[in-house]
């Protein structure tokens, strides 16, 4: 599902999903283009979220989606708990336009861990996969991008991206159980 094809917004803090005995207890009460997807995910055996990293985080659309997906199930209890009724295998796949070697100088590992932790807390299991130095354009000559060698990105796509795809396939097999 491509989030940009849907019309929705993030959590509006109505707290209807936390109302004891309410008809929307444990599920988002907002009805919009995201509602059918949230219902499908609740019935799924596994799912994978994917996002490029922009300005040190997932896209705005993904962030709004995550608010709606996750908050409905988070129980506001002293010990972390979930309102989700069963275990669900999940993973997050990121594309990121930096070399893996620079990751420690950024906050990206903390972001990846935070997202994995909240997915695990709510659904019981989560994995993470990153694809680094991704090729963003077919013709870099049309863009103002001077901080890396475009030819290197094209070559990397031919050599490394197929390996990333194999890792993604292996992750999918793991999620399928």
In tens, the pLDDT along 25-83 reads 999 999 999 999 999 999 999 999 999 999 889 999 999 999 999 999 999 889 889 99
Query: Coil, strand, or helix at residue 35?
Result: helix
Round the average pLDDT of the chain to a whole number and report it: 92
**pLDDT (tens digit per residue) in 112-125:** 999 999 999 999 98
Query: Coil, strand, or helix at residue 92?
Result: strand
pLDDT tier at 97, thresholds 50, 70, 90: confident
Which pLDDT value is given to residue 150? 83
DSSP 96-133: ESS-GGGGGGSSHHHHHHHHHHHHHHHHEEEEEEEEES
pLDDT tier at 149, thresholds 50, 70, 90: confident
Q: If you search the block for the tokens 């309410």, which residue do you land on?
A: 22
Which pLDDT value is given to residue 142? 86
Give the CATH number for residue 160.
Answer: 3.40.50
Number of domains in the chain: 1
Backbone angles phi, psi at 58, to 5 degrees: -65, 165
The Cα-based distances of 22 to 15, 74, 77, 99 in angstroms read 11, 16, 18, 48
Domain that holds residue 134: 3-176
């Amino acid at each position: 599902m491509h989030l940009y094809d849907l019309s929705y917004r993030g959590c509006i803090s109505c707290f209807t999903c936390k109302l004891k005995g309410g008809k929307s207890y444990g599920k988002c009460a907002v009805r919009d283009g995201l509602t059918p997807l949230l219902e499908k995910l609740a019935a799924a055996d596994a799912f994978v979220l994917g996002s490029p990293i922009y300005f040190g985080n997932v896209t705005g659309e993904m962030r709004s989606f995550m608010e709606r997906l996750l908050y409905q199930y988070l129980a506001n209890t002293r010990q972390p708990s979930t309102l989700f009724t069963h275990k669900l295998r999940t993973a997050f796949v990121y594309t990121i336009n930096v070399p893996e070697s620079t990751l420690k100088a950024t906050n990206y590992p903390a972001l990846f861990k935070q997202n994995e932790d909240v997915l695990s807390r709510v659904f019981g299991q989560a994995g993470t996969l990153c694809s680094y130095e991704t090729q963003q354009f077919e013709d870099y000559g049309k863009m103002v991008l001077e901080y890396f060698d475009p030819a290197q990105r094209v070559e990397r796509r031919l050599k490394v991206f197929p390996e990333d795809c194999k890792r993604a396939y292996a992750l999918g097999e793991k999620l399928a159980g």
